[in-house]
Amino acid sequence: MDLMDLLKVGGSLIQGNSDDATTGLDVGDIANALGGLLGNSEGGLDLGALVGDLSQNGLGEIVGSWLGNGENAPISMEQITDLLGSEKVAEFASQLGLSEESAAGALADALPQVVDQATSGENSIVEEMLAQVGGAQGAMNMLGKMFS
């Protein structure tokens, strides 16, 4: 699955969530806003930084569930705002004409599934993520910090 496909999955999840404010949004617009929010300077998805930020914010068990084969643990709107920063959530909201509350709720609904899909299956972007954290050894170091 390439990056744009993954972002469109996130866009579909946000469009189809329980918030009426997101129902009429264009999936492509949501995908572009997600790319700006979660992307890196090379135009890729910065999962390494995202996973690292989650573990530093005490959310390692939550992100661990997204990376594993079991059920994805939920993340709250407050945790999403803490993770991404209120300015980024506000910018995402502004791009889509949403309230910050709707934006945070949409991201809390979609992010676990987007990370899960990005890191599972044959066409995952795990190799890219491993490269971003310093290979397998960097991942082991990160996991050690998450679960210590």
Residues ≥6 apart with Cβ < 8 Å to 26? none
Whether the CB-CB separation of 112 and 73 falls below 8 Å is answered with yes
Which residue type does 30 have? I
Residue 125 in 3-state DSSP? coil
Residue 45 in 3-state DSSP? strand
Interatomic CA distance for residues 103 and 59, integer angstroms: 20
* Whole-number CA gyration radius for the chain: 15
Residues ≥6 apart with Cβ < 8 Å to 1? 9, 117, 118, 121, 123, 124, 125
Q: Please report which confidence band the pLDDT of residue 85 belongs to, taking 50, 70 and 90 as the band edges.
A: confident
pLDDT at res. 133: 64
The residue with greater pLDDT, 11 or 131, is 11
Taking CA atoms, 114 is separated from 14, 64, 66, in Å, by 11, 14, 9
pLDDT at res. 84: 84
Q: What confidence tens digit (pLDDT) does each residue in 94-136 have?
A: 999 999 999 999 999 998 888 888 777 655 555 555 566 666 5
